[in-house]
Amino acid sequence: MQAKIDRNMLQMEKDMIHDFYHNTRAEIKELEARIKNFDTDMQSMEEAHRTQIKVFKQKVQHLEYEHKNNCKTEQIKAQKVMKEERIYHTDNDKNMLKDKKQYKDDYQREDHQHQSEIETTINKLDQDYKDLEQSLDFQRKDLIAKYDEKLKVLRAELELRRKVEVHEIEERKNQHINELCINHEEAFREMKDYYNDITRENLELIRMYKEKCIDIKN
């Protein structure tokens, strides 16, 4: 009778230990599944992070390309203005030459009639021509100097704008990279803390189950 009772007790202990063992295995499998899901999430986050970096690099390249195009456009505009001014000056010279020829034709027609007046007119026209030529030459030089100065100022402004835009892009790029690094470090630290908590909980569970097993055996 006593042997049967002892055998039943041993069978109960064996069943209880067997149940503890299977429950522990089930919890371990569940924890492993959770860890695997967390690893998958981390890989997805890393892939998204790399994609963001690629997109940012493409934006920087696009901005640099637009800046180069703007510089070329401004240079073309400045060359066009200079070309228009040269054409204007050439037309002015042609018009003055036409006027000079007309004056000479008038002089030849009136030469025999008004010799004295013609000589006076010739002298006056010559002087007017010299004055006008000097004035035009001065205006031409002044105009060229003004547009040269405008071109220098425009180039300086474009260069300064380019440097400012490049600096702003660099600042935004560095700030974005720093934010990404901080976010990555924070996510890694949270993941590490999470794994440490799981490990501590598992060790505590194993310790508790061991103590229960020892208590049951005793």
**For the segment 16-57, what is each residue's pLDDT rounded down to a tens digit?**
777 777 777 777 778 777 878 777 878 888 888 788 878 878
pLDDT classification of 111: cutoffs 50, 70, 90: low
Separation in Å, CA 107 to CA 33, 114, 125, 127, 161: 111, 9, 10, 15, 59
Question: pLDDT by residue (tens digit) across 45-101?
Answer: 888 878 887 887 888 788 888 878 777 887 888 788 788 878 887 877 788 878 777
pTM for the structure as a whole: 0.29
Structure tokens at 78: 């400045």
Domain that holds residue 16: 2-217
The answer to whether the CB of 173 falls within 8 A of the CB of 60 is yes
Total of domains in the chain: 1
Q: Is the dihedral of CA 108, 112, 113, 119 positive or negative?
A: positive
